[in-house]
Amino acid sequence: MGRMVLVLMVSLAVLFGVNWFLAEYIDDYVIRVINLCGISIVLAVSLNVINGLCGQFSLGHAGFMAIGAYVSAYFTTTLRYFDEAEAKYVAIEPMFSTEWGFVPALIMGGFAAAAAGIVVGIPTLRLKGDYLAIATLGFGEIVTIMVTNFETIGGANGLPGLPAYSNTFWIYSFVILVIMFSYYLQRSTFGRALIAIRENELAAEVMGVNAARLKVMAFIYGAFFAGIAGGLLGHLQQTISPVTFNFMKSIEVVVMLVLGGLGSMTGAIVGAIILTALPEALRDVESSIGLPGVRMVAYSLVLILLMIFRPQGIFGQRELSLKLLRRLLPNRKGGE
Amino acid sequence: MLPLLETEVTFELILQQIANGVAKGSVYALIAVGYTLVYGVLQLINFAHGEVYMLGAYFSYYPAKWLGYVPETGEKPKVPLYLIGLLFLAAMTACALLGMLIERLAYRPLRNSSRLAALITAIGVSLLLQNGGQMAFGADPKGYPLFMEQEAVQLGPVALANTKIVIIVVAAVMMAGLHLFVQKTKPGAAMRACSFDMRTARLMGVNVDRTIALTFAIGSVMAAVGGVLVAMDQPRLTPLMGLLMGLKAFIAAVLGGIGSIPGAALGGLLLGVAESVVGTWSTTYAEAVAFIVLILVLLIKPSGLLGKAGREKV
Say if the Cβ atoms of B121 and A303 lie within 8 Å.
Answer: yes
Least confident of A98-107, A323-332, B71-80, B210-219: A323-332
d(CA B129, CA A215): 34
Distance from the A21 Cα atom to the nearest Cα atom in chain B, whole angstroms: 39
Task: Of A164-178, B33-47, B167-181, give the range with the top mean pLDDT.
Answer: B167-181
Q: Which of B128, B284, B292 sits opposite A149 (nearest CB)?
A: B284
pTM score of the predicted model: 0.85
Q: By CB neighbour count within 10 A (0-12 exposed, 13-18 middle, 19+ buried), where does B247 fall?
A: buried
Q: Residue A334: pLDDT band by 50, 70, 90 thresholds?
A: very low
Please answer yes or no on whether B247 and A137 come within 8 Å at the CB atom: yes
Residues in chain A: 336
Q: Which of residues 115-144 of A touch B (CB under 8 A)?
A: 123-124, 126-131, 133-135, 137-139, 141-142
| Cross-chain Cβ contact A300/B110 below 8 Å | no
Q: Where are the alpha helices (DSSP H) in B204-307?
A: 208-233, 241-256, 261-279, 283-300
Residue B293, amino acid: V
Under an 8 A CB cutoff, do A296 and B247 touch? no
With contacts defined as CB-CB under 8 Å, which chain A residues touch B302? 126-127, 131
ipTM (interface predicted TM): 0.81
A44-79 pLDDT, tens digit each: 999 999 998 888 888 899 999 999 999 999 888 887
Q: Is the dihedral of CA B238, B240, B244, B250 positive or negative?
A: positive
pLDDT at B2: 47
- What pLDDT was estimated at residue A325? 64
Q: Determine the longest span between alpha carbons in chain B, in angstroms.
A: 63
Give the span between the Cα atoms of A152 and A163, in whole angstroms.
18
| Residues ≥6 apart with Cβ < 8 Å to A136 | A58, A59, A60, A63, A120, A124, A250
Q: Is A312 helix (H, G, I), strand (E, B) or coil?
A: coil
Q: Within 13 Å of residue A22, how many CA atoms lie on the same side as its CB? A: 18
Helix extents (H) in A238-319: 247-260, 265-289, 294-309
**pLDDT at residue A42, as a whole number:** 95
Q: Do A297 and B128 touch (CB under 8 A)?
A: yes
pLDDT value at position A146? 87
| Residue A293 to residue B284, Cβ atoms within 8 A | no
Q: Do A308 and B110 touch (CB under 8 A)?
A: yes
> Per-residue pLDDT tens for A105-130?
999 999 999 999 998 888 877 787 77
The residue of A131, A146, A304, A312 whose CB has the most chain B CBs within 10 angstroms, and thus the best one to mutate to test that interface, is A304
d(CA B130, CA B235): 19
- The answer to whether residue A104 scores a pLDDT higher than 70 is yes
Looking at residue B231, what is its pLDDT? 92
Highest mean pLDDT out of A75-79, A82-86, B191-195: B191-195
pLDDT score for A21 = 81
Residues of chain A neighbouring B251 (CB-CB closer than 8 A): 134, 138
Mean pLDDT of chain B: 88
The answer to whether B52 touches B132, Cβ cutoff 8 Å, is no
Q: What is the interface size between A and B, counted as CB pairs within 8 Å?
A: 121
Nearest CA in chain B to A246: B244
DSSP for residue A122? T
Distance from CA of A14 to the nearest CA of B (A): 38
CA distance A41 to A179: 9
Which residues of B are less than 8 Å from A130 in CB distance? 43-45, 115, 119
- CB-based contact, B131 to chain A, within 8 Å: yes
The chain A residue lying nearest B297, using CA atoms, is: A135
